[in-house]
Structure 1
Amino acid sequence: MNTNTMPKEDKGLKNRHVQLIAIGGTIGTGLFMGAGNSIHFAGPGILLVYAIIGAMMFVMMRAMGEMLYQDPSQPTFIAYMTKYLGNRVGFFARWSYWLTTIFFGMAELTAIGKYVQFWFPSMPEWLIQLIFLAALTGVNLIAVSLFGEMEFWFSMIKIIAILALIATGLIMAFGHFQTPVGTVSFGNIFHDFSLIPNGWGNFINSFQMVMFAFVGMEFIGMTVAETKNPRQILPKAVNQIPFRVLFFYLGALFVIMTIYPWKQIPAHQSPFVMVFELVGLKGAAAIINFVVLTAAASSFNSILFSTGRNFYSLAKESRAKFLQPFAKLSKRGLPAKALLFSSLISVGSAVISSIPAISDAFVFVTSAATDLFLMIYIMILWAYWHYRKSSDYMPDGFLVKAPKLLVPLAALFFVFVYVTLFFNDSSRIPAIGATIWLVVFGFISSFQPKEAVVKD
């Protein structure tokens, strides 16, 4: 069976890169732009929703981390699905994950185009997207270390924005700052407190909204594989997840509801913009637009990194001759051809942006791709369960705590979230699309050989 080792590959990420990428990787536009909508939907209960999903994602990450710790030579975590679940499941997972990340990359490029138009409204979206695509592809082609450096600073910008929000909110609360909507106080959260103010239906529907904010957390596994000491760095990166969730997500949401009574927070306006405008910061909208632009650019930068390595693995494990050129590394030890091909596919974003008539179809595809992440997470836990029963099991490794309880619980939770998608108007059609993909491509995958191709 092919182990997907990557000889001579550039291992240019340092500990500081991985640690900050791990923090910034879980912070995206979902928090900066979507927090108001989440709070409007679930009220103070949104804190509980973030905590629950954060805990389940932590279990999934620990399961993935245990396998990575045992064999850090694998280029992507998808390889473990082939190894422990068989080539047919691995084939489904490999192509599904690659296509999913491609669609997400296109979505982030679209977001970049819209954010840049804030300053240059007459500049065509497709042109903005091509410029950013070319620039970030170049970054990924030069060296892993340059990718790490750029992600380091992208993450730093997002973290500073959240720290600034939390610090501002605390100063306003302790100083009893007066705003047009009242006094800033912790009592704004607990006054007329209701954990589920809008009913169980809205509370449960908020799970799928918050779930999207955590998508991409598994990317930490790929960054760790690009370091020289993965077994030393991996536990630190994964174990920081609960702290990141508690401090950055819950901390930011708690402060927002301290400044604004949660019942008065608009659904479709960024709370970050509102907070900074309240303290008299001129140009708050422009500043937050810059932050969300870097968040989108950071996400797309990471996606390029991921899709290139995933396509390299697909080519390595494929018998198709036309894929073999993509199974080679460049002189710099990078999967350059695989990365360029993934980048070329992403040009589809610029094409879609220039054809308004199919914009709804694009939203459908990207939303359905998000749903596929839930399938990937379930397969990670499934692969982990088989790993525990295999001869590879490392009893003195980076072990999941109480796996017999927590791993099945996390898998059932992801299934539960997926089922809830069918009961929400905005996510029902994408959920149906993702299910069709599962059935159709799952059927196609069943015709693959049981064992993966072995290559020297």
Structure 2
Amino acid sequence: MKSTITENQDGTMRALSNRHVQMIAIGGTIGTGLFLGSGSTISKTGPSVMLVYVVLGLFFFFMMRGIGEMFYSDPSQHTFVSFISRYLGPTVGHFTGWTYWIGLVFVCMAELTATATYVQYWFPHIPAWLIEIVFLGILAGINLIAARVFGEAEFWFAMIKIVAILAMIFTGVFMMTRNSTTPLGHATLANVFTNFTLFPHGLYSFVAAFPMVFFAFQGIEFVSITIGEAKSPHRVIKKAVNETLLRILIFYIGALVVIMGIIPWTSITPNASPFVQVFKLAGFPAAAALINFVVLTSAASALNSCIFSAGRHFYQLATEVPENSWMHKTFAKISNNGVPAAAIIFSAVLVLITPLMSLTSVLSSVFTIVTGVSSDMYIIVYTLAMVAHRKYRASSDFLPDGFLMPAYKIMSPLTIAFFAIVFFTLFLIPEDLFGAVGAIAWTVIFGGVTYLHQKKLVPNTNQS
């Protein structure tokens, strides 16, 4: 086995097999939002929620094709942010790199908080901070051992989610084909289209569903970060990216059709998991415990991927600063195991702030606000990735026979425009307004500071 693992020039190992990357791709596509949050989106928009998922899934597919095309031209890169630095300049790259890494740390913190909540479903007397420290320690340790061990953990995490979704879909199809009777009526496909209207609760609720589904897809780009350590990057990129849309159609649309076929969409409870409701109607009394286990593994999977990604991004940031700086000397290193150990440890240590949040409500409130801002920043980061892709197309690096984005001239500007529209909708939703304003403030303030800092470095660079 060792002979099939090649070493990159920077010391990292191409240890992730095709099955690892494919399951990481699936894991990145399917988040806890499908298991827990789909009830809320269905209650807002009814069956037209499927249109929201299809539209967003289509644009995320084209975003992934753009990122995939750049990785195909240079699979030695560890993050898509490196392409932003290359094609939009060091100032934009520096701003994006730090913004994305900080966002990842807060995503790690949010997922770590979630794991404690799910474990306390069974063990309510165990303090949250202890659960969080144990989970963080285990998953950080997995990331420090080797990329292959991370890939194996993600493989099984993703497998649990897939089995749960397929079990729910098969159960639903079985009930609908038998026209099973439930306390809510008959299970039939006709339930999906009964009393159908495009905007059952008005245009506002329909528009508000877009950012909700957008954030459910957030993290879909994680698979691209594995390309730098994949065994067969060119083959893996094509397969992982091309199947993104298919996964969304099967897992999201398939699950939504089954849910609304068994539970009339007017009867879906916004704050309850529709998966739990379906399994209970099918006569499975332990449904709540089963789905709690699934979302626990989903949160652990997201945390595992976040630690992996945060470590690679911080390592990338360290390689872009002057070699004589403390940051470069400390974090621009690859361990003997082929992982950026120092960068992983530093990122994980910052996530340790999470257990402290259980000690004070003030810190918890600040965390909620900052998480909202960092989530909204992802829209800006994704947009910059698409702009970098356009610059790549105009550069000498462009491979005419590479992994080309389909309908580039039409879909590239449309995807950028769509992301801008989604960001604009945040200002129409009261609970998202502060995060949107915060994202703009961060862009202006931190972007300005980054620009001035980089401007100071230019003369020194020229002199050397």
Gapped regions of structure 2 (runs ≥ 5): 1-7
CA displacement at 1:321 relative to structure 2: 2.0
Aligned residue runs from structure 1 range 52-451, under 5 A: 52-319=55-322, 321-324=325-328, 325-449=330-454
CA displacement at 1:194 relative to structure 2: 1.1
SS at match of 2:400: coil
Once residues 188 and 8 of structure 1 are traced to their aligned partners in structure 2, the CA distance between those partners, rounded to angstroms, is 56
Aligned partners of 1:6 and 1:75 also within 8 Å? no
Once residues 398 and 101 of structure 1 are traced to their aligned partners in structure 2, the CA distance between those partners, rounded to angstroms, is 28
Once residues 260 and 238 of structure 1 are traced to their aligned partners in structure 2, the CA distance between those partners, rounded to angstroms, is 33
Can you list the C-alpha shifts for 1:39-62, whole angstroms capped at 9, x where unaligned? 001111100000000000011100
SS at match of 2:272: coil
CA displacement at 1:365 relative to structure 2: 1.1
SS at match of 2:454: coil
SS at match of 2:453: coil
CA displacement at 1:12 relative to structure 2: 1.1
Once residues 363 and 102 of structure 2 are traced to their aligned partners in structure 1, the CA distance between those partners, rounded to angstroms, is 19
Once residues 228 and 257 of structure 2 are traced to their aligned partners in structure 1, the CA distance between those partners, rounded to angstroms, is 35
- 1:17 is matched with 20
- 2:4 is matched with none
Once residues 144 and 288 of structure 2 are traced to their aligned partners in structure 1, the CA distance between those partners, rounded to angstroms, is 33
CA displacement at 1:6 relative to structure 2: 5.1
Amino acid at match of 2:363: I
Once residues 434 and 107 of structure 1 are traced to their aligned partners in structure 2, the CA distance between those partners, rounded to angstroms, is 18
SS at match of 1:194: coil
CA displacement at 1:357 relative to structure 2: 2.9
**Equivalent pairs, count:** 450
Amino acid at match of 1:140: N
Aligned partners of 2:65 and 2:405 also within 8 Å? yes
User: Structure 1 368/6 Cα, relative in aligned 2: closer, same or farther at 3 Å?
Assistant: farther
CA displacement at 1:367 relative to structure 2: 1.4
Can you list the C-alpha shifts for 1:131-157, whole angstroms capped at 9, x where unaligned? 000000000000111100000000000
- 2:3 is matched with none
Once residues 353 and 13 of structure 1 are traced to their aligned partners in structure 2, the CA distance between those partners, rounded to angstroms, is 36
Aligned partners of 2:80 and 2:225 also within 8 Å? yes
CA displacement at 1:283 relative to structure 2: 1.5
CA displacement at 1:183 relative to structure 2: 0.4
Amino acid at match of 2:136: L
Amino acid at match of 2:325: K
CA displacement at 1:282 relative to structure 2: 2.0
CA displacement at 1:353 relative to structure 2: 2.5
Once residues 124 and 100 of structure 2 are traced to their aligned partners in structure 1, the CA distance between those partners, rounded to angstroms, is 34
Once residues 450 and 97 of structure 2 are traced to their aligned partners in structure 1, the CA distance between those partners, rounded to angstroms, is 11
Amino acid at match of 1:161: A
Aligned partners of 1:87 and 1:448 also within 8 Å? no
CA displacement at 1:409 relative to structure 2: 0.3
| TM-score normalised according to structure 2 size | 0.95
Aligned partners of 2:78 and 2:227 also within 8 Å? no
Once residues 190 and 69 of structure 1 are traced to their aligned partners in structure 2, the CA distance between those partners, rounded to angstroms, is 42
- 1:48 is matched with 51
Can you list the C-alpha shifts for 1:137-195, whole angstroms capped at 9, x where unaligned? 00000011110000000000000000001000000000011111100011111111112
Amino acid at match of 2:404: L
Amino acid at match of 2:48: G
CA displacement at 1:196 relative to structure 2: 1.6
User: Structure 1 351/6 Cα, relative in aligned 2: closer, same or farther at 3 Å?
Assistant: farther
Aligned partners of 1:8 and 1:333 also within 8 Å? yes
SS at match of 2:14: coil
CA displacement at 1:446 relative to structure 2: 0.9
Once residues 318 and 352 of structure 1 are traced to their aligned partners in structure 2, the CA distance between those partners, rounded to angstroms, is 32
Once residues 205 and 314 of structure 1 are traced to their aligned partners in structure 2, the CA distance between those partners, rounded to angstroms, is 35
**More deviation, 200-209/359-368:** 359-368
| TM-score normalised according to structure 1 size | 0.97
SS at match of 2:339: coil
Aligned partners of 2:314 and 2:343 also within 8 Å? yes
CA displacement at 1:279 relative to structure 2: 1.4
Amino acid at match of 1:49: V
SS at match of 2:12: coil
Aligned partners of 2:147 and 2:338 also within 8 Å? no
Amino acid at match of 1:146: V
Once residues 36 and 383 of structure 2 are traced to their aligned partners in structure 1, the CA distance between those partners, rounded to angstroms, is 28
Once residues 270 and 426 of structure 1 are traced to their aligned partners in structure 2, the CA distance between those partners, rounded to angstroms, is 21
Can you list the C-alpha shifts for 1:365-420, whole angstroms capped at 9, x where unaligned? 11111111101110000000111111111000000111111011000100100010
SS at match of 1:447: helix
